[in-house]
Chains A and B, each alone.
Chain A
Amino acid sequence: MDELAIQIILGISVASVPLIFAAIGELVVERSGVLNLGVEGMMIMGAIIGLVVQYHTGSGLLSVIAAMAAGMLMASIFAFLTQLFLTNHVATGLALTLFGLGVAAFIGKNYSDITVTRISALHIPWFSDLPVIGSLVFGYDPLFYLAILMVFLVWWFLFKTKRGLILRAIGDNHDAAHAIGHQVIRYRVLAILFGGGMAGIGGAYLSLVQVPMWVEGMSAGRGWIAIALVVFASWQPFKVIVGALIFGGISILQLHAQAFGVYIPAQYLSMLPYLMTIIVLVSLRIGSKSNTNRTMPNCLGKVFHSTS
């Protein structure tokens, strides 16, 4: 395998990690029946907070934890408003995104000219030194493996545990779940916080691994793509990886387009991931026979009010 191909595969994997994190978090949130459109805002907060902590402490672990906490803090605003104050999910999610972009830019002003240490790839003695396999399988940063692990964990939780079953049941019919005594709001709040934490880590990946510096608006719509990915994955954890690789692939191929002899203004190539999202959403609909998506949680985005 030649060097360029390995470079591209590595690049695709790295590009898809933030999407996996954000999408797997949102998947759990949506499975519980909540539509949080604030992923972009939570991601960018993760990106800036991760960067700030990395700059001041130099500890990769600490910065990732801080980014996760930032995402969760953002998510808690959303949880508080939608679950206790019964606000509209769409409006609140949008507000969260706008707020997050603003706050991140506000904090980021003081960190615009610095670079931080990149979280580096693991080096596993012997394994990482293997030819080809070494870099393709054992040559990533720890967060890459964490992302894959999270997908497994989420799958295991949703389909192999009682609590996962309850969470899915709440997303399917919150009134029924409440009637038989399950704590709808508690499950949802926890799911939202999990989603926030994952989005935060996904954001940190942007500023700590992909580009170790702060660029305003650096999430560049990835939070939204992650939401589209959940639809693409039809709420199935493993399909999130497939989707993320496709999107990661497009964004990397666009960088390498000129190497393949494609000469189109850069702006048109940069449009590809966004256009691809639309195309994928359309093709999903052409593929399915029915108007209604059966895998979609029934209560998605509906406000739950326990006394009614």
Chain B
Amino acid sequence: MTHSRPLLTLLILIIAALTIFPVFGDEFYQELVIRLMIMGIFAMSLDLLIGYTGLVSFGHAAFFGLSGYMLAIITPETEAVSIWIALPFCLLVTALAALIIGWFSVRTSGIYFIMITLAFAQMFYYYFNENQYLGGSDGIFIFFKPTIFVGDIQILNLNNPQSFYYFVLTSLIGSYLVLSVILQAPFGQVIRGILANEKRTRALGFNTQHYKLVSFVIAGTLAGFAGFLEAAAGGIISPAHLGWHESGAIMMVVILGGMGTLYGPILGAFVMGFLQDYFQEIWSAHWLLLFGMFIIFVVLFLPKGIAGLFLQTINRKGNGK
């Protein structure tokens, strides 16, 4: 994934806008943007599967929600937990879950892959939905955000809304960079090969199932990171976070934003978030109707999503070269 100059400009503009936003935006919108940045991380993690490896996972929210529950479990009722304990714990559990689910799932393909990932996610959903100890269908509160101490010094106080905002922004940028690096590396070349032509990739000497599994684990773990942030941001995690609605919504974000681009899903998260906010304002009872029409419009007229529209525009302008 090479960054052309217009794309680099776009990314810098996005980062700049997000960086100065808390100075102007009021608290409500700041809260909203935090959630959208988290959604961006979640969507990028799914893009690694759908847009780069060709694995259409319909159960990706399982990792998102599972990690949130892990934060709830490891956070005591009366005090905060150190991020150095909580984050590795959440990511490790999610990675393990992704390894197990992935091990079964990558053996299938096409519609069967969609069904098996959905089935696993629904198992998680019903488990947490029935578990009274974890709040059942109401979910469970997380009263304290994790603390970040090095020695006795607090590096960052996540309870401060602005600090938390910048923590999430850094996470978003960091996730983007890590994924970009992975996609440039030999591993990234192989999964692109799998997406384009799996049989040929195998015949060239790659055990494609291994690569699909590793991609699944990376994506699941990153979704777990987003879930960790989501649970910390909202202070609550519920079965809805890992249901098929959530898996479907995040898939929509990826498709809307543009598969196989990484930045597209981030844009998709923002467009989706603000449109939801806007549609709810203008026609609160039937906002989903407006939303559905918008999705149909995008799928029909912008098959490559918002990122595709962007690429089209810059290609038209830069046709000279």
State yes or no: do A and B come from one complex: no
